[in-house]
Structure 1
Amino acid sequence: METMNKTAITVETTVHAPVAKVWACWNEPQHITNWAFASDDWHAPHAENDLREGGKFKTTMAAKDGSMGFDFKGVYTSLKDQGMIAYTILDGRKVNIAFTAKGEATHIVETFEAEDNLLPELQQDGWQAILDNFKKYVEANR
């Protein structure tokens, strides 16, 4: 589902952990299942990740009560080890993530094209909540 006028939304955080640790937690399925959800009543029971240009990923996100869930899928279009990830979600929207080492911390900036059927503010809140959950997970598991 291609959009005509794509709105770019950016979320960001600084994780107090070295970029190598942040990169591993972002990309390894055993870590992804511990943080890839926006609230405590959701979880990520399954993740697959083929981290290479042309590689695919899939993360299953689901309500813990079983009432709803979905697979978040995409294909990697560009990578720079421990520095940048770009991918296209299966609906055609593009996502870019930059990882910048700041001493023993890592700054993450994630920019994505908004969906047409949800308010941009709601999308930003949801993606920021997932990013905040990622930060919490990494910092608790240093």
Structure 2
Amino acid sequence: MALENTAPITIETTVNTPVEKAWEFWNNPVHIKNWAFASPEWHVPHAENDLRKGGKFSTTMAAKDGSMSFDFGGIYTSVDMYKLIEYVLGDGRKVKIVFEADADSTKITETFDPESVNPIEMQKGGWQAILHNFKKYTETN
């Protein structure tokens, strides 16, 4: 499936928590392990994060039954604390995450280049499910 010249995909959510907590839960590997997966059948057994321009991150997403796993990682190209994170994935795709603070809530908008294997709607749904897990985890912890 060729997806050349496909526009970036954007997803978003508003988390009912101050931006400082949202930022901490988004970037701390202790928290990443609790939300960075799309469904309850998956988990994150390993996460590393060096949040700075030029820093690297790596998250291992795995099926709980051991049937499959993959590493999701890249290099940060821009970090503006409590506002913006940009990175390039290992395959060259770009991702931009914007944090917008508003009193006791934080709007998170994530824009990413699609990959060329899975349908656009599947990619959007998967990333949105992970963002939903982030919202649920952050609001209940």
Q: Structure 2 length normalisation: TM-score?
A: 0.97
2:87 and 2:137 map into 1 onto residues whose CA distance is 23
Deviation string for 1:16-49 (max 9, x for gaps)? 0000000000000000000000000000011000
1:40 and 1:116 map into 2 onto residues whose CA distance is 25
The reply to whether residue 111 of structure 1 matches residue 111 of structure 2 is: yes
Deviation (angstroms), 1:6: 3.7
The reply to whether residue 121 of structure 1 matches residue 121 of structure 2 is: yes
Deviation string for 1:54-98 (max 9, x for gaps)? 000000000000000000010000010010000000000000000
Counterpart of 1:90?
90
Task: Provide the secondary structure at the position in 1 that maps to 2:133.
Answer: helix
Counterpart of 2:79?
79
Q: Where does 1:3-18 land on structure 2 (aligned, <5 Å)?
A: 4-18=4-18
2:32 and 2:6 map into 1 onto residues whose CA distance is 27
Q: Structure 1 length normalisation: TM-score?
A: 0.96
Task: Provide the secondary structure at the position in 2 that maps to 1:51.
Answer: coil
Structure 2 residues without counterparts, runs of 5 or longer: none
Structure 1 residues without counterparts, runs of 5 or longer: none
Q: Where does 1:13-92 land on structure 2 (aligned, <5 Å)?
A: 13-92=13-92
Counterpart of 2:100?
100
Q: What code does the residue aligned with 2:88 have?
A: T
Deviation (angstroms), 1:7: 2.5
Taking only the aligned residue pairs, the percentage that are identical comes to: 60
Superposed CA RMSD in Å reads 0.9
1:50 and 1:23 map into 2 onto residues whose CA distance is 14
Q: What code does the residue aligned with 2:21 have?
A: K
Deviation >3 Å, runs of 4+: none
2:4 and 2:74 map into 1 onto residues whose CA distance is 20
